[in-house]
Amino acid sequence: MAELKHRVIMANGIRIHLVEAGTGPLVLMVHGFPESWYSWRHQLHALADAGYRAAAIDVRGYGRSSAPAGIDEYRMTKHVADNLGVVEALGEKSATIVGHDWGAPIAANSALLRPDVFRALALLSVPYSPRGARRPSEAFRVMGGKEEFYIEYFQQPGRAEAEIEPDVSGWLLGFYYSASGDAPAPAAGGTMATIPHGGRMRDRLTIPEKLPGWLTAEDLDFYVSEFERTGLTGGLNRYRNVDRDWEDLAAFTGQPITVPSLFVGGEKDGPTRWGGAAIANFSKTLPGLRGSHVLSGCGHWVQQERPREVNELLVKFVKGL
């Protein structure tokens, strides 16, 4: 099994912590909320053993990477520039980029804006949907119905932090489990995707009696220790830029991503289920698509819940480039 090496580099003017393994063509992995490089622990080994240089970053605001103070420092164009800086700092000219959750649109926009550098793209959980005519906050208001869609809930600085940070361990466990394929179907009106006005997401989360098989006590302890140290504001600030991103990327309205691509989602995963129309439109939006897979019974944490299947799909994809 390949050795994991931790590095801290300067990229795009900030500090980026990453973990890498193996040698060969670069595969850059970008995590989502609320995770870290650690969410790629299974893929680092698999890709390295298959002959690739696998690197998983702590996205700005997470882990040992810099956490700029301004909310607008977490806009999409900043994340794309970070990824470009990482490739350069690693002495590479190009990379295959892989993203999960928020890492998926970060990876997608990296390939959209710089296909000369990010020459292949794999998206986990969140399908690619080009910038549209509707402002994101307006779309999320419709999705929330009589309640607040969770991205709406995350908009107000300090609000979500106030419910999470007094008990990071309990909140993370509830969030991870409730979004996984192991969670029971929510009762009517009890989905974690929406929150009653003035309420808390915590009240919609399910705390399991025992950990699911894909999440060990050591795994949970790692995440808890990271977020007890850093707080959640850096990660939440990504959500607080959705309208700013829409304005920044106006020139790319409706644009497809043409590099070779792969999509892997979970049958029980919210973003994959909500993205049915986007998946159906892949022939137009991802004309270089090499495969689209929805894993039966899998929830949101695709590469952690189903590491063997995801590893096989990723390795097959990169070897076919």
Supply the residues annotated as catalytic. 101, 300
The Cα 123–Cα 146 span in angstroms is: 31
Q: For residue 86, what are its two tokens?
A: 């990482």
Q: For residue 210, what are its two tokens?
A: 């025992």
Q: Coil, strand, or helix at residue 27?
A: strand
Parallel, antiparallel or unpaired: strands 261-266 and 289-295: parallel
Contact between 174 and 201 (Cβ < 8 Å): no
Of 208, 205, 273, the residue nearest 34 (C-alpha): 205
The Cα 296–Cα 282 span in angstroms is: 20
Q: For residue 188, what are its two tokens?
A: 């009517």
Q: Coil, strand, or helix at residue 318?
A: helix
The Cα 149–Cα 233 span in angstroms is: 19
- How many C-beta atoms surround the C-beta of residue 41 within 10 A? 17
Q: Coil, strand, or helix at residue 19?
A: strand
Parallel, antiparallel or unpaired: strands 118-124 and 261-266: parallel
- How many C-beta atoms surround the C-beta of residue 7 within 10 A? 13
Of 131, 83, 86, 118, the residue nearest 103 (C-alpha): 83
- Specify the length of the chain in residues: 321
- How many C-beta atoms surround the C-beta of residue 268 within 10 A? 21
Kindly state the DSSP code that residue 14 receives in the 8-state scheme.
E
